[in-house]
Chain A
Amino acid sequence: MSEPLVSPELSALIGRDWPPVVLEVDRPGIRMWARAVGIDDPVFFDEDVARARGLPGLPAPPGFVGWPRTGPNDPEPGPPVRGLHPDLARSLNGGTEFEYLAPIVAGDELVATTRIVDMKEREGTIGRMLIIERETTYRRGEETVATMRQTVINY
């Protein structure tokens, strides 16, 4: 019988906030994102169109929450996507979900805080898997503007 993957040490990480990171939502980033996805709605490119739709600036396309303000030697923000368990070196992205409470627009600075909300062990065709549910909260000042849930599979 092997030890459960979700050890007491890993369980203790559930619910803990990782250090926050500041995200900068900028116009070039919005246009670049929209171009990479292939969205051609001019609202993501032309401020006049954005204002005509009642927005204070270019809106962030679905899924874009800005660029992390990090230094050259800063670690990746949030919990590590692989290696939480010493036996599981590989990682898969299991899924993503965004929810918006308010529009995110160019010029916003968002404070993103990520936590692990659940961990489960599963057995699959790729062997033993650690299913990690993460949640990131994006705040503009005191206002929560979005949340993102992500499933990471370590195996």
Chain B
Amino acid sequence: MADKSVLRDALQVYFDDLEVGREIPEIVKRCTPRQLVMWAAASGDFYEIHYDVEHARSIGLPGIVVHGALKNAFLGQLLHDWVAPGGRVIRFGCTYRGMDYPGEDLRCRGTITRLFELDGEHLVELDIWIEDPKGEVTTPGSGLVALPVRDVREGA
């Protein structure tokens, strides 16, 4: 049986291999109304603009909109998927500048802005963001992760 965790171990990102300016692998999210309902249940945010089209239109929106906190969770996933299994997400966050809608490809992206050591940990700061199909950044943010370093004996 294929073990996905073995594959993930083989794909571990190491601090040593990084440089400032490099982009991390992006993830693309295309929300369905179903996903927004699942998110409402998981998060406890039942504001109607996220699943009730009539309500959303009644307050001037073109349709239902993606929850801000779900977009933040996407950015959390972006970092988690990049650092797993051996790294950890320390901080991530974003501001909500523009609405995003289901049925659109939301590109979740990030670039490395700083590499440093603190208290024995190897840390990476990143700019992270979501852009809509027009290429507009609706959700800019930043993150901080810790990553493992390569075992020096490996290359000896």
Instruction: State the A residues within 8 Å of B (CB).
Output: 29, 32-33, 35-39, 41-43, 49, 52-53, 61-64, 67-68, 92-100, 103, 149, 151
Contact = CB atoms under 8 A, between A and B. Distances in A.
Is the interface on chain B under 10, 10 to 19, 20 to 34, or 35 or more residues?
35 or more
A39 B90 contact: no
22 contacts: A29-B42, A32-B41, A36-B42, A36-B43, A38-B35, A39-B81, A52-B5, A61-B73, A62-B73, A62-B77, A62-B79, A62-B92, A93-B68, A94-B95, A95-B94, A96-B94, A98-B72, A98-B91, A98-B92, A100-B89, A103-B88, A149-B93
A63 B73 CA distance: 6
Nearest to B74: A37
A36 B95 contact: no
Contact of A37 (B70, B91, B141): B70
Nearest to B90: A100
A93 B72 CA distance: 11
Interface in B18-48: 29, 35, 38-39, 41-44
B38 to A, nearest CB: 4
A153 B27 CA distance: 29
Given A49-B5, A52-B5, A36 B41 contact: yes
Interface in B64-84: 68-70, 72-74, 76-77, 79-81, 84
B60 to A, nearest CB: 11
Nearest to B67: A93
Given A33-B43, A38-B35, A100-B88, 9 more contacts: A37-B70, A92-B96, A95-B68, A96-B72, A98-B72, A98-B93, A99-B90, A99-B144, A100-B89
Contacts of A32: 38, 41-42
B91 A100 contact: yes
Nearest to A33: B42
Contacts of B81: 39, 41
Contacts of B94: 95-97
